[in-house]
Amino acid sequence: MTTERVVAVGDGPTLEAAVAAATASPPEFRTCPHPTYRTLREQAPVVRLTPGHGVDTYLITRYEEAHAALADPRIGKDMHEAIDLYHALFGDACETLDDNLLFADPPRHTRLRHIAKTAFTPRHVKDLRPHIEELANELLDRCPTDEPVDLMAAFALPLPVMVICELLGIVGDERTQVLKWFSVVTRSRFSRDMKGDLVEAEHWLRDYFTEHIRRTRENPTDDFLTMLVETPHEEEPLTDHELVSMMWVLLFAGHKTTTLQIGNSVFNLLTHPEQLRALQEDRELLPQAIEELVRYEGSVETSTFRYAKEDVELGGTVIPKGAIVQIALTAANRDPEKFPEPDTLDITREHLQREHIGFGFGPHFCLGAPLARLELEICLTALLDRFPDMVLALPSAQHGDWLKGPFPAFRGLEKLPVVLDPSRTVDDWTADGRTTPDPAA
C-alpha cells in the first residue's frame, strides 16, 4: 500500500546551487532540503563545504557512505583529541557540557555508554509505559478540543521534557529554570553574536547540575540520576565532571529530538490521509509506521560533528585528516538505492528498524531510541484513540512553512496548530484546515 499522493521534491538544483545551499542553509533549504540532497546524493555524495566557521567540512548524503561513516573508527568524535577544531566550531563556552559520550571515542565512550544505558534497558523502558500514558492523557485533557491548539507547545514538548526531567530528578520550579537556560544554549551556541548569553547559560547549567548531583548523593532516590551517581562497584565511578556532562546530554537528547519527531510524525500523518486511515484501521501497523515516519522525516537532519583522524576515502572522495565530517541522515534515508520510492510515505514498509539510520548507526546509535519509540507509540495512540478526526488548523498555503528546523542539526516544526475535534466547532477556519495539500517536504 502506498500513499494516495507522492510528495514532489522537484528535479533538484544544479550541483553548484546545491553545494551553496548546503553551505549557507538559506530559508528555502531549511524549509525543504530534499531537492538539494537529491542533487548531492546523485552527483557528489561526499562533498566538501566551506561553512562560515572556516573549518573544511565534508557532507555525506548517500546511504552506502553514510552507513559506513557512522561506524568507521577512522572518523572520530572525541573533540578533546581535536580541541582546536572544537574551539573553531563552538568556542570554549560549552566545553564542560560537551565533554560527554556524544563527543567520546572508545575506550572512554564504551565505559560511559555502558553506565548510561542502564536507564534504557527494555525492562526499565517497559516499566515507564503506564506513567508516560498517564502524562500523555493528562496533557491532552488540558487541550481545548473545539478551537486551534499548538500541539507542539501543548503536547509534543512537555511530554518528553516531563519524562526526562523526572528521570533526572529535576522537578518544580527548577525544571522551568533549567529549560530556560537550556533554551539559551541551544539558541546561542551557533551564533557569534550571542557569545555572552552562551557563557552565562553554560555557567548556570554547570553550577546547577553540580549542586543537583551533590544533593542527590546526600538524598538518593529511585531516579536515574541516583543510578548514575551510585555507579556499581565493578565500574569506574563517574566523576562529578562526567556526571555534569552526562546530565546535559541526557536532557538534550532526551527531549529535543523526541519533541520534534512527535510533531513531524503527526504532521505527516495528517497530510497523508490514506496512511492515517490505514493506521487507524490497523493499529498493528504502528511499530513499523513509527520507523517509516522516522525514515521519511526524522528530527535529526544531520549527525553531530565528527572529524577525520586520518585520510579517509569514501565514495571516491578523500576526506583529509583533520576535516569535519557530517552525515546527512535525512538524505541517506531517502536514497532510492536503499529505499524504493523514498519520497513516498508508506507505513507498510517492512524491515525498516535495522535499515534506516534515523537513530544513527554504529557505536553512537541513539542510546534513547527505545524510550523515543515508546513515547512516539504512546503519543500517536492517544491522539488516534481520542481524536480520530483531528485536522490541521492551517491555511493550505502555509503548510510547507512549518517545516523549518529551528537548529542546524534538527528538522522539525516550530508550531503545529490543530483542531482536535472539528465536529465541535463551527468556525470558518475549517475550509482550509480540512484540506490535505502537498507540503514542501
pLDDT digits (tens, 9 = 90+) for 272-306: 999 999 999 999 999 999 999 999 999 999 998 89
Nearest by Cα to 325 from 25, 46, 21:
46
- The answer to whether residue 358 scores a pLDDT higher than 80 is yes
Q: How many Cβ atoms sit within 10 Å of the Cβ of residue 49?
A: 17
Whether 199 maps to a domain, the answer reads: yes
DSSP 3-state assignment of 12? coil
Strongest mean pLDDT among 196-205, 338-347, 348-357, 429-438: 338-347
If 0-12 CB within 10 Å is exposed, 13-18 middle and 19+ buried, where does residue 287 land?
middle
8 Å CB contact between 371 and 160: no
Whether 41 maps to a domain, the answer reads: yes
Query: What is the grid cell recorded at 304?
Result: 553531530
At residue 231, the pLDDT reads 74
β-strand pairing of 324-327 with 306-308 = antiparallel
8 Å CB contact between 333 and 60: no
- The answer to whether residue 1 scores a pLDDT higher than 60 is no
Whether 30 maps to a domain, the answer reads: yes
Q: pLDDT band for position 229 (50/70/90)?
A: confident
At residue 304, the pLDDT reads 87
* Identity of residue 231: T
- The answer to whether residue 100 scores a pLDDT higher than 80 is yes
Distance CA 8, CA 183 (A): 34
Of residues 269 and 238, the one with the higher pLDDT is 269
What's the Rg (C-alpha) of the chain?
Answer: 22
At residue 256, the pLDDT reads 86
Cα dihedral sign, 182-184-185-186: positive
Which of 66-75, 128-137, 330-339, 396-405 shows the lowest per-residue confidence on average (mean pLDDT)? 396-405
At residue 259, the pLDDT reads 93
The overall longest dimension of the chain from CA atoms, in Å, is 65
Q: Return mean pLDDT, the chain.
A: 86
8 Å CB contact between 359 and 245: no
Query: What is the grid cell recorded at 109?
Result: 565512550
Domain that holds residue 68: 15-433
Q: pLDDT band for position 434 (50/70/90)?
A: very low
Q: What is the mean pLDDT of residues 155-166?
A: 93
Q: What is the mean pLDDT of residues 154-172?
A: 92
Task: List the beta strands (DSSP E) in 115-256.
Answer: 149-150
Q: pLDDT band for position 396 (50/70/90)?
A: low
Distance CA 12, CA 40 (A): 9
Distance CA 277, CA 293 (A): 15
Whether 293 maps to a domain, the answer reads: yes
* pLDDT cut 70: percent of the chain above it: 85
Virtual CA dihedral for 177, 112, 130, 382, nearest 10 degrees?
70
8 Å CB contact between 328 and 60: yes
Whether 440 maps to a domain, the answer reads: no
Specify the number of domains making up the chain: 1
Q: Is the pTM of the predicted complex or chain greater than 0.85? A: yes
Q: pLDDT band for position 397 (50/70/90)?
A: very low
Of residues 181 and 81, the one with the higher pLDDT is 181
- The answer to whether residue 53 scores a pLDDT higher than 50 is yes
Q: pLDDT band for position 103 (50/70/90)?
A: confident
8 Å CB contact between 411 and 260: yes
Distance CA 275, CA 2 (A): 8
At residue 7, the pLDDT reads 39
At residue 212, the pLDDT reads 94
Whether 10 maps to a domain, the answer reads: no
Bond prior to 237 in cis (omega within 30° of 0) = no
Distance CA 49, CA 244 (A): 33
Nearest by Cα to 167 from 128, 214, 203, 200:
128
Cβ density class 234-250: b for 16+ within 10 Å, e for less: eeeebeeebbbbbbbbb
Whether 36 maps to a domain, the answer reads: yes
**CATH classification at residue 101:** 1.10.630.10
- The pLDDT tens digits of the residues spanning 236-264 come to 888 888 899 899 888 888 888 999 999 99
- The answer to whether residue 21 scores a pLDDT higher than 80 is yes
* Identity of residue 259: T
Whether 168 maps to a domain, the answer reads: yes
